[in-house]
Structure 1
Amino acid sequence: LEDAPGYHTLDSVAMASGLIFGAMRAGAKIFNSVSVEDLVFKDEKVNGLVINWTPVERLGMHVDPLTVIAECVLDGTGHPSEILHLATEKAKIKLDTPTGGIIGEKPMWVESGEASTVENTREYYPGLFACGMSANNVMGGYRMGPIFGGMLMSGRKAARLIAEKFGK
């Protein structure tokens, strides 16, 4: 914007597709129309996910799920923190939070939410990381609003933490 120094605008479709393209070139795998049914645990560590096709789940079909083994799992499911909820409710694990569980998201406070989105991005249980609004929900952070800079920085921090953990 010419009359707003320090602000940047961009085409949201170009940004999203560019991020997806870059992630896939770096080796990320994206599974479309898939739902997480369960976590894989081994030796007190999260070791992957149990997934199934979303239409199978929605139609109530009896189809065996697929197991995806992974060194770590990143919950980027947003406000509901679905994977961390599954871990605390089904597996009864204690998260690395002040309460040992999911504290819950606070109402919107853009500046605080932007900062805490990055601050709260980390490993919450061996092999289980959270980023974005999922991390804020777990730690009781504020909603961040429509800015999204914190989301991008949170994703970058998660990638760095995971790469460091595995020596990459």
Structure 2
Amino acid sequence: MATPFDGFKFESIRESQISRAMTQRYFQDLHDHAEVDVVIVGAGSAGLSCAYELSKYPDLRVAIIEQGVAPGGGAWLGGQLFSAMCIRKPAHKLMDELEVPYDDEGSFVVVKHAALMTSTLLSKVLAAPNIKLFNATAAEDLIVKQDETRGKYVAGAVTNWTLVSLNHDTQMCMDPNVIEAKVMVSSCGHDGPMGAAGVKRLARLGMVEKTPGMGALDMNSAEDAVVDRTREIVPGMVICGMEVAELDGCPRMGPTFGAMFMSGQKAAHVALNSLRRQQEAAQEAAQEESKEEGKPLVAA
């Protein structure tokens, strides 16, 4: 029996057209995002929900750095590689906003497959015109500067392709690139080969105390603590998700994702507050400079 695809034929093309189409867009993206308002490091459940919240502010330019080829972190499955994703209320309001169906279990909801939630969230983020995801890209270091008013502050991310980052020991020096940012949101997850990278680097720089690591599992206290302690830990750097637990020693919550989503959403608003403070400080400095310029010269 015939099918609609019998005798199917694609449009003719030259291979170089494909190469130019990819190259032009990628390097244009690198050029356009060398300086951004917010850079999010880590595209797990917290980082993606942060990006989604920031997508509601179209005047902001946001870059996401994700070391994996596939963004989403550990949110493609539930606990122990099971399919269902459990989200404690009131974090289910994000599911309502995204129109992700779920089973209501009273104090929590269950999405039939974690990938349904994560793919929906990811599609919304990627479709936003003010968000750019650079996956297969690692944040190797922080840009840290210092001035009289803020002291030491984070001013962006030092980046490299992940495969380069993983092979520094096998090749000669392969220097990185940079993305300058007014605010960094570090959502690198719990400790691991590339986990909790932001707070671990701050600890080595002496900008925060030594990280104690996350505590043992306690769902009830863990999720409240992670959302409550999502904050700007040093000027220019906000932490969210499991990186909060690594810094503060909060318990882990295991296979329940509400705190990850809400921590990311809160981080977006903490970043917005930081941007507002920076803008206000810049305006005050400009006014002071204008006053100084307007003062008459005093004869010696």
TM-score bracket for this pair, using the shorter chain length: 0.7 to 0.9
Q: Does 1:92 align with 2:206?
A: yes
Residues of 2 paired with 1:46 and 1:165: CA distance?
A: 12
The structure that has the greater radius of gyration is 2
* 1:77 corresponds to: 188
Matches for 1:49-128 after TM superposition, within 5 Å: 49-60=157-168, 61=171, 62-80=173-191, 81-89=196-204, 91-93=205-207, 95=208, 100-128=209-237
More displaced, 106-115 or 11-20? 11-20
Report the AA paired with residue 206 of structure 2. K
* 1:8 corresponds to: 109
Report the AA paired with residue 117 of structure 1. V
The structural deviation recorded for 1:22 is 2.7
The structure showing larger relative contact order (alpha-carbon pairs under 8 Å, at least 6 residues apart) is 2
RMSD: 2.1
* 2:125 corresponds to: 23
What secondary structure does 1:15 align onto? helix
The structural deviation recorded for 1:140 is 1.1
What secondary structure does 2:158 align onto? strand
Q: Which runs of 5+ in 1 are unaligned?
A: none
* 2:139 corresponds to: 36
The structural deviation recorded for 1:113 is 0.7
Q: Which runs of 5+ in 2 are unaligned?
A: 1-101, 147-151, 280-300
On the 8 A contact 1:113/1:145 being kept in 2, the answer is: no
**Distance of aligned partners of 1:46 and 1:92 in 2 relative to their CA distance in 1, 3 Å threshold:** same
What secondary structure does 1:117 align onto? helix
Residues of 2 paired with 1:13 and 1:58: CA distance?
A: 27
Q: Can you list the C-alpha shifts for 1:87-115, whole angstroms capped at 9, x where unaligned?
A: 221x221x3xxxx3323211111111111
**Distance of aligned partners of 1:116 and 1:6 in 2 relative to their CA distance in 1, 3 Å threshold:** closer
Give structure 1 regions of 4+ aligned residues with deviation exceeding 4 angstroms: none
- TM-score of the two chains, using structure 2 as the length reference: 0.50
- TM-score of the two chains, using structure 1 as the length reference: 0.86
* 1:149 corresponds to: 258
